[in-house]
Amino acid sequence: MKHYSEYRDSGVSWLGAIPKHWSVKKIKFVADVMTSNVDKHIKDGEKAIRLCNYVDVYYNDRITDDLPFMEGTAELREIEKFGLAKSDVLVTKDSESWDDIAVPAIISEKLNQVVCGYHLAIMRTYPGELDGEYLFRLLCSEALNYQFKISANGVTRFGLPTYALKNALMLFPDLEEQRAICRFLGRESSRIDALIEKKRRLLELLEEKRFAIITQAVTKGLDPTVPMKDSGIEWLGEVPAHWDVAPVSARYDVQLGKMLDTNAGTNTCL
């Protein structure tokens, strides 16, 4: 990443210096922020909807139409207000943990009759001012997310008030630069995800190899040149000729824990 030629003081102590042409704004000046009150109950006389709930946002950073949304109902005015549109950004506003607040997700495609559920807030950016993808990326950063954590109220359960969402400070480059940043992050995220997938596959292969080595050692022995014999057990195959194959009960006394005599216990570890 290239450094900008000029920086200036942001005027915010914890932000420090920012690119000279960037500004610092509160979210409420570049996006509508709404907290949903649509619950999970199905009520007579209301319109059938699909409900995007807390878990949908918590476990998916991108909300798509093929997610298994809960069936619900809502009034027409609620559907008009809280119906989700492409590029809307959702944030979890409640949590049982202080450091698990304000998890974001973005609506990445057009949804069919999906309404924002309770315990969530919608951030709908102003066209020409703020790119939804940029807002989502910003919500994933410490610069914005930490503001929400320290604004959360509660003891055993934490809640994020609407004013905290609206008044959080965000870094604000122009629209084209926002989109350039998003393209860069998209490329880098894809590259990192691909590396993670390769590492995950490598770990799977190493686990398979470990299991195979253990199986080989305990069923075939360590000497590959030793004479072998048929074990007489289909799934076991051949074993070293000098090994015996016998039921566990022929070699060991097997007892269930509940049958142990508590009076026979000692402090000796075997």
- Same structural domain, 18 and 125: yes
Find out whether 171 and 143 touch, Cβ atoms under 8 Å.
Answer: yes
| Span 45-73, pLDDT tens digits | 899 999 999 999 999 999 999 999 999 99
pLDDT confidence tier of residue 184, bands split at 50, 70 and 90: very high
The partner residues of 49 in beta bridges, in order of sequence, read 72
- Same structural domain, 167 and 207: no
- As a whole number, mean pLDDT of residues 231-260 equals 84
Mean pLDDT highest for which of 5-19, 124-138, 151-165?
Answer: 124-138
CA distance 137 to 114: 23
Find out whether 84 and 52 touch, Cβ atoms under 8 Å.
Answer: yes
CATH number (domain holding residue 96): 3.90.220.20
- Same structural domain, 18 and 151: yes
In a domain, residue 230? The reply is: yes
In a domain, residue 184? The reply is: no
- Same structural domain, 13 and 125: yes
Q: What is the pTM of this model?
A: 0.76
Q: Which residue has the higher pLDDT, 205 or 250?
A: 205
CA distance 22 to 20: 6
Q: Which residue has the higher pLDDT, 94 or 123?
A: 123
- Same structural domain, 57 and 151: yes
**Other CB atoms within 10 A of residue 17 CB:** 11
- Same structural domain, 211 and 142: no
Tell me the CA distances in angstroms from 81 to 45, 89, 117, one per residue in order.
18, 14, 12
CA distance 261 to 255: 10
In a domain, residue 183? The reply is: no
CA distance 62 to 88: 11
Instruction: Give the domain range for residue 126.
Output: 7-173
In a domain, residue 150? The reply is: yes
On average, the pLDDT of the chain sits at 90
Structural domain count, the chain: 2
pLDDT on residue 68: 95
pLDDT confidence tier of residue 261, bands split at 50, 70 and 90: low
DSSP for 153-202 reads EESSSEE--HHHHHH-EEEE--HHHHHHHHHHHHHHHHHHHHHHHHHHHH
Place of tokens 């798509």: 64
Beta pairing class for 47-52 and 114-116: parallel
CA distance 2 to 16: 18
Find out whether 107 and 86 touch, Cβ atoms under 8 Å.
Answer: yes
pLDDT on residue 138: 94
In a domain, residue 270? The reply is: no
Q: Is the pLDDT of residue 266 over 70?
A: no
pLDDT on residue 57: 96
What percentage of the chain carries pLDDT values higher than 90? 65
Q: Is the pLDDT of residue 226 over 80?
A: yes
Q: Is the pLDDT of residue 257 over 90?
A: no
In a domain, residue 266? The reply is: no
Residue 60: what residue type? Answer: N
- Same structural domain, 131 and 242: no
Q: Which helix (H) or strand (E) holds 143?
A: helix 142-151
Q: Is the pLDDT of residue 112 over 60?
A: yes
Report phi then psi at 187, rounded to 5.
Answer: -65, -45
pLDDT on residue 270: 40
Q: Which residue has the higher pLDDT, 150 or 210?
A: 210
- Same structural domain, 12 and 87: yes
Q: Which 3 state secondary structure label does DSSP give 216? A: helix
CA distance 248 to 73: 60
pLDDT on residue 262: 59
pLDDT on residue 5: 85
Q: Is the pLDDT of residue 120 over 60?
A: yes
Q: Which helix (H) or strand (E) holds 57?
A: helix 54-58
- Same structural domain, 107 and 202: no
